Amino acid sequence: MVQGTIVSRRAIVQHDAGRSPPLPEKVAHMPELPEVETVRRGLEPAMVGRTFVRVEQRRADLRFPFPQHFSDRLTGTTVTDISRRGKLMMAGLDSGEVLLMHLGMSGGFAILDNAPETPGRFYHRRDNQPDQAGRHDHVVFEMSGGATVIYNDPRRFGFMGLERSDELTASRHLRNLGPEPLGAEFTGQYLATALAGRQTSLKAALLDQRLVAGLGNIYVSEALHHARLSPRRLAASASARNGRSIRAERLVVAVREVLAAAIEAGGSSLKDFAHTDGGLGLFQHRFAVYDRAGTQCPRTRCGGTIKKIVQNGRSTFYCPACQR
Catalytic residues: 31-32, 87, 314
Query: What is d(CA 184, CA 194) in angstroms, rounded to the nearest whole number?
Result: 15
Which amino acid is it at 302? C
By the 10 Å C-beta count (0-12 exposed, 13-18 middle, 19+ buried), 180 is classed as middle
Backbone angles phi, psi at 166, to 5 degrees: -80, 0
Query: What is d(CA 31, CA 87) in angstroms, rounded to the nearest whole number?
Result: 8
Strands 124-126 and 159-164, sheet pairing: unpaired
Q: How far is CA 202 from CA 151, 258, 262, 288, 291, in A?
A: 35, 17, 21, 18, 19
89 bridge partner residues:
84, 101
Which amino acid is it at 291? D
Which ranges constitute the DSSP H helices of the chain?
Answer: 9-16, 33-47, 70-74, 188-195, 202-206, 217-226, 246-264
By the 10 Å C-beta count (0-12 exposed, 13-18 middle, 19+ buried), 319 is classed as buried
Strands 148-152 and 159-164, sheet pairing: unpaired
Q: Are 212 and 179 in contact (CB under 8 A)?
A: yes
